[in-house]
A and B are shown apart, each in its own frame.
Chain A
Amino acid sequence: METILSVNNLTKKFGYLTAVKDLSFTIEKGNVYGILGPNGSGKSTTLGIVLNVVNETNGTFSWFNGDTDTHNALKKVGAIIERPNFYPYMTAVQNLKLVCKIKEVSEDKIEEKLKLVGLLERKNSKFKTYSLGMKQRLAIASALLNDPEILILDEPTNGLDPQGIHQIREIIKKIARQGTTILLASHLLDEVEKVCSHVVILRKGEKLYSGRVDDMLASHGFFELKTENMAELETYLEKNDSFGKVTTENGLITAFLTEEMNPAVLNQELFKKGIILSHMVKRKESLEEQFLTLTKNQSN
């Protein structure tokens, strides 16, 4: 695996406040990463540091195995942090031409990228006349100008209306399908769940977890079951070693697995015992549930 970014023991203090505490993680090529955390957990600060706009207090980071210095590495990165910042008096095309000059890439791709984000008709309008959604899409176009190795997005749907959110997500998915590495910071869990394969979870500047979304909790998922004879089912489940915690809520039994189990096997077993299910679902905890469990475990 090719390492794109590695962060080692990064710490950032703003006066008394420690925004990022001893943070380490690596970003490998080809994955879609999410940085999750409540507001003020240090997501933007971390991105600010690796993007050369915030100075670290301690620790190091290196792009592309440290082969190039940060500002040259950033030419191979596309990033949007917080609000889109462009020159308000310049048109979309003029702004993008400037970005091309900074990134030292040719201007051929401007039209193509504007088309990708659906701004081609407004390309000669001044930036200040754009709506927030359009500004955000222009920022994405600008970040893609160099066909980056990695795309960094910080709260890309913040402040947008539902339609705008949808448009941005579609664009992100389209980019992810092309195999671009993406690092997405967000506090919106479903957003991360929909696109990310890996997550880094932060709380108060500390890393709670980093790794694959699937491996976040050592969990085999759980069954949601319903039958006529609830009491019998409950007794069966409690006696079975494959199940851990069993809860009943609103006439629905939730049984957590302690080991892998095929739903067909369980169904057959129960049928033999004369328990006939009227409802059976096997699923894994949603990212939200996992996230809450994780943050709760560590919240003292």
Chain B
Amino acid sequence: MIRLLQIEFIKLWNNRASKVLIISYFVLLTSIALVAAIKFDIGPVKFHLADQGIFNFPYIWHFNTFITAFFKLFLAIVIVSMMANEYSNKTIKQNLIDGLSKKEFVLSKFLTVISFAVISTVFVFVVSMILGLIYSDYNEISIIFSDLEYLFAFFIKLIGFFSFCLFLGILVKRSAFALGFLILWQVFEGFVRGMIRWKLFDGETTDRIMGFFPLNSMWNLIKEPFSRLGAVKSVANQIGEEFNFDYAVHWYEILIVLVWTAIFIYLSYALLKKRDL
């Protein structure tokens, strides 16, 4: 297993484009700390974002995992191209001839995906912890370590998404087209949602059905945290609205994403096995 990771590391780290993207990704993850610095001080209007409670435990786990999940697109580019480049350089052929089995080949990519997800999760944990300890209004241990399921959901979300990228890389064999396909798929899910809502079911059933689609199921893992924010809630109350959303991470949502992950990895392997190079 270490050997497979080392192989992938040599391939990735010597590629300048991948290296730059990986580094910028982690810099961006850290940059969420900069949100703390947002401060308006124009005469009577004083606004300091960090004071609005976004860094309060345990809300910070929800907020930070939701925001940082957007940066995964950077790694998506790296993952799609690490797969597609093997095809365009034909190095996949050489790898197999040199004695890497097809299973090992897919496994080495998947292990890399898992490593990315693990490192990202640890990164977000550490950054959030530091921010929380500085700005949070509540510092009891029991509160700090509550709601950690958001981190777990974040981890699963990344693995699911990256596995999808990996599969697209193998399927399409060209990085640009694979990324295009990813966007197309997003549009497709939106289209399907529209059609179902329009022709078939009411909103709730549509949401439930859409929860089974890959990108939608990943999106569902961590719900938007903004309406949970104290400031937003009070504004809503003033205009007579009351939010009552379900923010929790559900086990069946995790399960759906895990099933998709398994499908993508298996399909990648099956595709590789079936194809002549």
Contacts and interface: CB of A to CB of B under 8 A. Distances in A.
A239 interface: no
A71 B100 contact: yes
Nearest to B104: A71
B97 A74 contact: yes
B104 A87 contact: no
Contacts of A87: 11, 14-15, 89, 91
Nearest to B18: A89
Contact of A90 (B14, B90, B99): B14
Contacts of A72: 99
Interface centre among A51, A54, A69, A87 (most CB of B within 10 A): A87
A85 interface: yes
Interface in B191-235: none
A296 interface: no
A81 interface: yes
Interface string B131-158: 0000000000000000000000000000
B16 interface: yes
Interface string A80-104: 0101011111100010011101111
A24 to B, nearest CB: 21
Given A87-B89, A88-B89, A55 B98 contact: no
B37 interface: no
Contacts of A69: 101
Interface string A139-173: 00010000000000000000000000000000000
Contacts of A73: 99
A102 B91 CA distance: 12
Interface in B92-137: 93-102, 104
A101 B6 contact: yes
Interface string B62-96: 00000000000000000000000000011101111
A102 B14 contact: no
Contacts of B10: 90, 94, 97-98, 101
Given A54-B276, A102-B7, A104-B3, A89 B98 contact: no
B93 A53 contact: yes
A97 to B, nearest CB: 7
Interface in B1-52: 3, 6-7, 10-11, 14-16
Contacts of A101: 3, 6-7, 10
Interface string A41-73: 000000010011111000000000000011111
A79 interface: yes
Contacts of A97: 10
Contact of A85 (B15, B91, B104): B91
Given A85-B90, A87-B91, A53 B96 contact: yes
Given A74-B98, A89-B16, A98-B10, A55 B90 contact: no
Contacts of B95: 102
B239 interface: no
A196 B3 CA distance: 38
B100 A85 contact: no
B234 to A, nearest CB: 54
Contacts of B6: 101
Nearest to A74: B99
Contacts of B94: 85-86
Nearest to A88: B89
A54 B277 contact: yes
A75 interface: yes
A225 B97 CA distance: 51
Nearest to A104: B3
Interface in B229-277: 273-274, 276-277
Given A55-B276, A94-B10, A99 B98 contact: yes
A74 B97 CA distance: 7
A52 B90 CA distance: 14
B69 to A, nearest CB: 30
A14 B275 CA distance: 12
B86 to A, nearest CB: 9
Nearest to A81: B97
10 contacts: A71-B99, A71-B100, A74-B99, A81-B93, A85-B94, A90-B14, A98-B7, A102-B7, A102-B98, A103-B98
Given A55-B276, A75-B98, A98-B11, 14 more contacts: A53-B97, A55-B274, A71-B102, A71-B104, A75-B99, A81-B93, A85-B94, A86-B89, A86-B91, A90-B15, A94-B14, A97-B10, A102-B98, A103-B98
